[in-house]
């Protein structure tokens, strides 16, 4: 890809996507205050770099939940990737695999989880939405285990779907032939146009449970032998409760600003969560990570790794699997540069005082 950075990738993707897909990917809740705040909060953190450290050899790899990762950067779960590229999640998995990046597959993928698992080469986790029908949810968990996924990510910030006004205006729906492929057997795979609004909003309202509580985390942990991460936490007390209920990790996230507008930027929420549970479980963060130096800031605040949502979709739209691996390569090169200039030869050597939260 003859592109310099993720901003250029975003622009190139915008030129290729349909209006409905573009607006769905770019969209945020209401006024987009949290969306913009995410990126701005990473930008604001100054890097108090260390000098005179030998950084001739640098190692970007890390270990998360006992799983080796070539990078401390994973692909966040994002729904409906066939809107970006005909191969959808298959291309994403191939692109992540080419860079050794972990991938989290959304419940609402447009390729069935077994097919994605068959082509994945890096760590592959499954993101779970809880359906009103518990048997449907249980079947998803069992299939993820059988297909070889190595962790579950329970998304907890979507009791109802946040109002994305552009999706309502576009009457968001999946084109003919595209479905929520994991739900075919359950008869819940169609995302038809909404009645006067977003079809996804209607789908979530009718089929997913708005009643999720900590008892459901207990239920999930008891259901599965896989580690469970809880995604969508912005408070230290919630992080501690998640750990008390058996979570193996928490993901500090506001859903990329797509759920509650006014939620704090994740860079601001992260330190208290790390303080509360960082020495017990894995802590990841996502939202607005657009530069390798943002990854370094997150590591310095105590995150074990970050996830990127929209950037992976841009890579997918622009170049399929190659676009996804190219996106990770750009971020990796920037992270490598930032680590060198900050005196950090490895992820483990990133000090907590590079940034002042």
Residue numbers of the site for ligand FMN (CB under 6 A)? 24-25, 38, 76-79, 106, 108, 127, 155, 231, 253, 255-256, 258, 286-289, 308-310
Q: Report the sign of the C-alpha dihedral through residues 251, 294, 47, 41, in that order.
A: negative
Catalytic residue, chosen from 22, 255, 294, 356, is 255
3-state secondary structure of 232: strand
Q: Which residue is nearest to ligand FMN (CB)?
A: 309
Least distance to ligand FMN from the beta carbon of 291, Å?
A: 12
Q: Which of 127, 119, 124 is nearest to 90 (CA)?
A: 119
Residue 255 a catalytic site member: yes
Q: How many CB atoms lie within 10 A of CB 215?
A: 10
Least distance to ligand FMN from the beta carbon of 139, Å?
A: 18
Nearer to ligand FMN, 263 or 308 (CB): 308
Contacts for 159 with CB less than 8 Å, ≥ 6 apart? 210, 212
What is the number of residues in the chain?
Answer: 357
Nearer to ligand FMN, 288 or 320 (CB): 288
Q: Quote the CA–CA distance of 140 and 84 in Å, as a whole number.
A: 24
Least distance to ligand FMN from the beta carbon of 79, Å?
A: 4
Tokens, residue 2: 């003859």
Least distance to ligand FMN from the beta carbon of 345, Å?
A: 27
Nearer to ligand FMN, 21 or 344 (CB): 21
Q: Which residue(s) pair with 124 in the sheet? A: 103
DSSP code for 172: -
Place of tokens 């595209």: 178
Nearer to ligand FMN, 331 or 338 (CB): 331
**Which residues are marked as active site?**
255
């Amino acid at each position: 890809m003859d592109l310099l950075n993720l901003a250029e990738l975003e622009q190139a993707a915008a030129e290729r996507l349909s209006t409905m897909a573009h607006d769905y990917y770019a969209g945020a809740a209401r006024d987009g205050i949290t969306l913009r705040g995410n990126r701005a909060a990473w930008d604001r953190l100054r890097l108090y770099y260390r000098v005179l450290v030998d950084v001739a050899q640098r190692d970007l790899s890390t270990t998360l939940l006992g799983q080796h990762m070539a990078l401390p950067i994973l692909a966040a779960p994002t729904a409906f990737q066939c809107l970006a590229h005909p191969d959808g999640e298959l291309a994403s998995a191939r692109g992540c695999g080419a860079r050794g990046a972990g991938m989290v597959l959304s419940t609402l993928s447009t390729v069935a989880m077994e097919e994605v698992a068959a082509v994945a080469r890096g760590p592959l986790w499954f993101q779970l939405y809880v359906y009103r029908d518990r048997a449907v949810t249980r079947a998803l968990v069992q299939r993820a285990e059988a297909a070889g996924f190595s962790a579950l990510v329970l998304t907890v910030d979507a009791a109802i779907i946040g109002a994305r006004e552009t999706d309502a205006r576009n009457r968001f729906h999946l084109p003919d032939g595209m479905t929520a492929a994991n739900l075919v057997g359950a008869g819940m795979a169609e995302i038809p146009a909404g009645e006067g609004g977003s079809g996804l909003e209607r789908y979530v309202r009718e089929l997913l449970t708005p009643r999720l509580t900590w008892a459901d985390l207990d239920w999930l942990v008891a259901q599965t032998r896989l580690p469970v991460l809880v995604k969508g936490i912005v408070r230290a007390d919630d992080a501690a409760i998640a750990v008390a209920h058996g979570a193996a990790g928490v993901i500090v996230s506001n859903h990329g600003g797509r759920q509650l507008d006014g939620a704090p930027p994740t860079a601001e929420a992260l330190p208290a969560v790390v303080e509360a549970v960082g020495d017990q479980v894995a802590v990841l963060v996502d939202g607005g990570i657009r530069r390798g130096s943002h990854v370094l800031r997150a590591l310095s605040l105590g995150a074990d790794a970050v996830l990127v949502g929209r950037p992976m979709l841009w890579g997918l739209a622009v170049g399929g699997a190659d676009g996804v691996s190219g996106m990770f390569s750009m971020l990796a090169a920037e992270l490598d540069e930032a680590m060198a200039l900050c005196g950090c030869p490895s992820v483990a050597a990133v000090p907590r005082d590079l940034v002042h939260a």
